[in-house]
Amino acid sequence: MERRSFSVSLPKNPLITMKVIPGHFTTSHSHLNYYLDLSDLKTNAKMAMDVARELVVPYITTTLLDAIVCIEGTEVIGAFMAEELIKEGTSIINSNREIHVVTPLNNINRKLMFQGNIQELIYNKNVLLLVPSISTGATISSILECMSYYGGKLAGVSALFHAHPEKLDQEVHALFTYEDIPGYEIYNPRDCVLCKDGLKLDAIIIHDGYTKI
């Protein structure tokens, strides 16, 4: 399946590119016909810097922030976002503020949690949530629930990929959407067209990576 992979670039900035692998994938909630490899966006410093510059645009002049909560390996991007946000400049609302870049833990029930010393950086603070990808919205609801449990004030949600922005009440500022990937489909496992065609699953997507079956 990797041999059939192709690249998708951000129209605004073609240097930002992700690898898309066609196949038959499962998450805990759904089946998908594409796996999006976001690892270069998250770990390649030059690319992560460009991604951060795009992602801060909706907030830089308007949104006061105290913390960026980075989910599933997005902390390099989060750190570059903080750097952009605290730059000096007359129209930059967070100039010289303290912005903390934090990462939650996954507890045994796959719920997110913050350790004691981190909780005070969230409670009653303006928090930006940074997630790699949003497909059905189930994961984002669980993250938002966690944020509200720890008393964080949600100032915004950013994502590298958001499958269907129109299907979610929560506003998300995403780099890529399904419109960038022709033919991208998410299926309820019960109605999956690939399963109905007798195609075996290729891999299971866990924590934004995949394991072949």
Angle at alpha carbon of residue 82, lines to 40 and 174, rounded to 5°: 55
Helix, coil or strand: residue 175: strand
**CB-wise, 31 or 162, nearer to Zn ion?**
31
For the bound state, the minimum distance from the C-beta of residue 136 to Zn ion, rounded and expressed in Å, comes to 14
**CB-wise, 45 or 213, nearer to Zn ion?**
213
For the bound state, the minimum distance from the C-beta of residue 94 to Zn ion, rounded and expressed in Å, comes to 44
For the bound state, the minimum distance from the C-beta of residue 180 to Zn ion, rounded and expressed in Å, comes to 22
Mind giving me the DSSP string for 118-147?
HHTTTTTSEEEEEEEEESSSHHHHHHHHHH
Residues that bind Zn ion (CB under 5 A): 31, 192, 194-195
Q: Which residue has tokens 């750190």?
A: 79
Q: What's the rounded Cα separation, in Å, for the pair 146 and 139?
A: 11
For the bound state, the minimum distance from the C-beta of residue 33 to Zn ion, rounded and expressed in Å, comes to 9
Q: What's the rounded Cα separation, in Å, for the pair 80 and 86?
A: 10
**CB-wise, 25 or 114, nearer to Zn ion?**
25
Q: What stretch of H or E contains 51?
A: helix 45-55
Helix, coil or strand: residue 13: strand
For the bound state, the minimum distance from the C-beta of residue 74 to Zn ion, rounded and expressed in Å, comes to 28
Q: What's the rounded Cα separation, in Å, for the pair 151 and 67?
A: 13
